A and B are shown apart, each in its own frame.
Chain A
């Protein structure tokens, strides 16, 4: 076991937590990510590999599915897998194993920062950030959008819980945007 100490995307040892009005904004470093893309002609096999990891349904466009390991759709025959870092640091290795050469898997854990918004009235925050239609963006929805020029994945975990994955190098810029929007809304 190596002895290097991890830092979060915002550069601290502990994740950043902010509260404002009914909303809490938390940095969530505790997740592993791996992309999985079907190889040519192996689209079905890839769906089956995903199902073996997340449960009965591989999510279609605009959705996520799963429990401990989840997958969200990122493009035609492409998904991102997400799981708790502590239990699944080597999520990409598990995916490679399940894919059996039928899909290309790439570790993406370090590429993204994740911020979670929790509370009531999240739509008021989100409508200042991106063009997602929050009336139809319900639990199980996932999409890619642009937030203040940053390409982000947005997942609706439940009515009062949204996750935003943004580029890790821009974590501070994204955090600032989110906090600004929260303060403008409430």
Chain B
């Protein structure tokens, strides 16, 4: 089909013809078109079906406020539903489909809903789906969910990337219409850092849509010249296709830049969109105004649109929605549409002006004091019914009707700080609140200054004023001679007596619905919104709110400002969730931490587990091992029999220095540290302020004023934060300096009877590792491999003779290879966190499972560690009677009476003969494993008075899994209870 409705002129590039499809049918448009303008050019008025009644719909607007022409763009994984045809930039190969229909767009089976409109009124769900209650989940909700929404999603992963970014400026100018351009010119020439953002792909705002904006040049030309000058200024950043979505605290705004939406797909490496956070010293809202419709019966047919939009299509895109059009207006602005289309050769059926004193025209009929009271045409407008001042009616044949009900300033961003828009009687609309965001100024139509001259002046003046107040010297810019017509309008919201007259076209809310809400006493503006869903669609009621408020005002006998407004919230226009997620998706959701010998571990067949952000080797699978237990049992046995090596780099390390370092640690840990000798390490337990165990680890004293604290992997950051808080806020008088060295040192546990012999091969000979010279809990700065600085700690989590060797990270890979090489003669094995876990359970060492946020030192069997001789965090509250009951939980070991049974973590213990319920629980299992050394499962458990119940047989139950076995209470130290191995 040729572009039958294309007019001469316009700002499209006729040399570039673009092919696209809509509902499978091929069309052509030009560069500079939107999907909506291209469809109209091809004579397509029907673009969608309405939400509830499935009424045929076409475009209402020419911008982002569009409620009707919502389409699915693209295909496959890039398919995007609910996209406004009015903002979708045309590109060659664009595929678009209509949505919310069963069957074809012309014959939508769901259109049957329109016949039942009497039942589908406001509050329909609330009234209908009340009973029977059991029907809700199984029947009503699935039906409603199926019917709700408009487009459909692809259910495939979004293949595109989204960026987030940060920008700074002196002055952010939102909107590049006449006000925004004049402001940017003023601020740009004054050398302020300016960001000029506009949602459109061509800057200029209404200047691109008006024929007679300036006396001696076209508005579009002036806009293009101005943009060219601004683009040449290094201090001005022009951001087209960028919607400012929200105003936040301290001059921060969010803005979405559509980088690639006008392309078939993003260029390699480029994001589809960028969500910018803009830090501005000042901001100026020049967002213009949105025209509002007039409600009359059947005012939603394709072809009925806002008069200003009709003018935009004609002037900017050289398109008319039909060859014969009419205009229905309450103000002078509507007459411009008729004049502009007439000038382009379009036949004007008539201008119907509600005002008896409407201006006359030489070129077409003006029906003064008339009203459009109905329309006809099943899939598109064919005629309108007009009532004349005397009461007689006339049918006028036309394919499109422009409706002009006045203009509403776009005050959304000014409301984001809960500012309530304020009534401007001169234009009968809400203007910006006086209590908006503090740094935000407003100019132009957004402020209610509706003439082009006012907008230019307002923009320039506001910019100059801000510049002056902020130390810039601004010269006045020369502004073109622009139209300065006063607003001449008679407020007129709805034709009297209309019912099925649409207010909110996206949510299918009619005048009748508002009347019903009033009848049922939902008269508060917030109730009106929720009950009827007026203004709750993705367009946030940009074209509908005012009409609804006006009807409610009339019904309640109030003035419109007394009815009030609802609150606009970010985002200004619908925004893809992907833009908020940015790059934080999939494997990039969070950074991954790897130890410096990660590559070596991979070579050894390591299976990794996430521990916080770290990846730790869980076990090292050898050829032939088909089950993780085979690997883990082997690693445990080899370590206990000879020697094993474990990467413990991930444990937190905190350097504590200062003359008060010992005093500081004495307060942080519940046990004493003041007298720890230099060259010694001590196990330490930290309590929270409330007396509950927080974290455990060791502290090694390298010098009088220098300690190295270790924490568990999971708590490395929280312990550091806790210590930093204590240092800065609790005891600022102490001389202590803290810094994390977790990342600085790679650390390896070397454990097992041959640990010393292995280490002697890498530690330089001047360092004596004998038990006498370097006993259990010793620490020292040493050198290895002929001079590399290292730290050695004789500490043991496994219960074996064990050391931890720390080396600078850059040599970690070489060190682990050297250790394994040196260990060959001892058949040394690497072991992972599972084997580590088995060995610490066998030894009865507590870990995160035991320090679970509910347990005390007493529960852990370390009650006496909480020193009474000093004050430390948590020590006082650990004395609370509630934490010191005589039957307090105590950490014990359990083994199964029948060795074949497991003793799984999470199970509860019951005394024999007691009922199995929470009231009779004797305790619970925290850690469990299969002990390859004992040949059966073992576990650690908290049991009431557990320390005095050794040998008692209890029932271990899990009602969830039906588990119920007998276990014996034993010491938590299954292996080497006297600690002879680790002191060997």
Of A37, A106, A110, the contact of B809 (CB 8 Å cutoff): A110
When the two chains form the complex, which single residue of B279, B594, B808 contacts A131, counting CB atoms closer than 8 Å?
B279
Q: Could you say which of A3, A6, A109 contacts B785, with CB atoms under 8 Å apart?
A: A3
Q: Is B422 among interface residues, defined by CB-CB distance under 8 A?
A: no
Residues on A with C-beta less than 8 A from B593 are 167, 169-170
A184 near B168 (CB under 8 angstroms)? no
A177 close to B (CB within 8 Å): yes
Q: How far is the CB of A81 from chain B (nearest CB, A)?
A: 13
In the complex, the answer to whether B737 meets A37 with C-beta atoms within 8 Å is yes
Complex CA–CA separation, A37 to B738 (angstroms): 9
* Cα–Cα, bound, A128→B582 (Å): 10
Q: Quick one: closest A residue to B595, CB to CB? A: A169
Contacts of A112 in B (CB 8 A): 743
**How would residues 146 to 186 of chain A score, 1 for a CB under 8 Å from any chain B CB and 0 otherwise?**
00111000000000000000011110111011001101100
Interface status of A24 (Cβ within 8 A of chain B): no
Instruction: Assess the A8–B810 pair: CB atoms within 8 A.
Output: yes
Query: What B residues does A108 contact at CB under 8 A?
Result: 739, 741, 744
B919 vs chain A, min Cβ distance (A): 45
**Closest chain B residue to A7, Cβ basis:** B813
Given contacts A1-B786, A11-B598, contact A128 B165 (CB under 8 A): yes
Q: With A5-B814, A131-B277 as known contacts, state yes or no: A40 contacts B658, CB within 8 Å.
A: yes
Chain B's nearest CB lies how many Å from the CB of A137? 10
Q: How far is the CA of A135 from the CA of B660 in the complex (A)?
A: 43
B165 proximity list for chain A (CB < 8 A) = 127-129
Q: Given the interface contacts A127-B167, A135-B193, A184-B163, does A7 sit within 8 Å of B596 by beta carbon? A: yes
> What per-residue 1/0 map shows which CB atoms of B801-835 lie under 8 Å from chain A?
00000001111111100100000000000000000
CB pair A106 B657 closer than 8 Å: yes
**Is B159 interfacial (CB-CB < 8 Å)?**
no
Find out whether the CB atom of A170 lies under 8 angstroms from the CB atom of B279. no
Whether the Cβ atoms of A2 and B788 lie closer than 8 Å is yes
Interface string of B774-815 (1 = CB under 8 A from A): 000000000111111000000000000000000011111111
Q: How many A-B residue pairs have CB under 8 A?
A: 147
Quick check: B735 and A174 within 8 Å, CB to CB? no
Confirm or deny: A143 has a beta carbon within 8 angstroms of a beta carbon on chain B: no
Contact between B592 and A110, CB atoms less than 8 A apart? no
The answer to whether B658 and A6 have CB atoms under 8 Å apart is no
A17 within 8 A of B: no
Min CB distance B654 to A, Å, is 10
The reply to whether B591 and A149 form a contact with Cβ atoms under 8 Å apart is: yes
- Contact indicator B592/A4 (Cβ below 8 Å): no
From A76, which residue of chain B is reached at the shortest CB distance? B728
Q: Is the CB of A107 within 8 A of B744?
A: yes
User: CA–CA, A1 to B811, complex, Å?
Assistant: 13
Q: How many residues of A contact B (CB 8 A)?
A: 50
Which of A2, A130, A169, A183 contacts B784 (CB under 8 A)? A2
A183–B741 touching, CB < 8 Å: no
A60 within 8 A of B: no
A141 in contact (CB, < 8 A): no
Q: Which residue of the partner chain, among A11, A106, A176, contacts B599 with CB atoms under 8 Å?
A: A11
Residues of chain A with a CB closer than 8 A to B342's CB: none
Determine the distance from Cα of A40 to Cα of B663 in the docked complex, in whole angstroms. Answer: 14
Are B787 and A180 closer than 8 Å at their CB atoms? no
Give the docked Cα–Cα distance between A159 and B598 (Å). 36
Given the complex, which residues of B lie within 8 Å of A180, measured CB to CB?
Answer: 161, 269, 583
Closest to A124 in B: B165
Per-position binary interface string of chain B over residues 719-750, scored 1 when its CB falls under 8 Å from any chain A CB and 0 otherwise: 00000000000000111010111111110000
Residues of chain B with a CB closer than 8 A to A40's CB: 658-660, 733-735
> Which of chain A's residues have a CB closer than 8 A to the CB of B163?
128, 181, 184
Contact with A along B643-659 (1 / 0, CB 8 A): 00000000000010111
B735 to chain A, nearest CB (A): 4
Residue of A nearest to B599 (CB): A11
Bound together, the chains give a CA A4 to CA B744 distance in angstroms of 17
Asked if A29 is at the interface (CB within 8 A of a chain B CB), the reply is yes
Tell me whether A183 and B591 are in contact in the complex, defined as CB-CB below 8 angstroms, given that A11-B599, A131-B166 are known contacts: no
| Residue B569 is within 8 A (CB to CB) of chain A in the complex | no
C-alpha gap A7/B811 in the complex (Å): 7
* C-alpha spacing A134/B788, complex, angstroms: 41
The answer to whether A183 touches B269 (Cβ under 8 A) is: yes
Pick from A5, A7, A39, A130: contact of B659, CB below 8 A: A39
Q: Which residues of A contact B274 (CB under 8 A)?
A: 128
**Interface pairs (14), CB distance under 8 Å:** A2-B787, A4-B814, A6-B810, A7-B812, A37-B737, A39-B737, A107-B741, A111-B740, A128-B163, A134-B168, A149-B590, A168-B809, A169-B593, A169-B743
Excluding A9-B596, A130-B166, A135-B168, 12 further A-B contacts by CB distance (< 8 Å) are: A9-B809, A11-B599, A40-B734, A104-B655, A104-B705, A106-B741, A108-B739, A132-B166, A148-B588, A169-B614, A180-B269, A184-B161
Q: What residues make up the interface of B, taking CB atoms closer than 8 Å to A?
A: 161, 163-168, 193, 268-271, 274, 277, 279, 583-584, 588, 590-596, 598-599, 613-614, 655, 657-660, 705-706, 733-735, 737, 739-746, 783-788, 808-815, 818
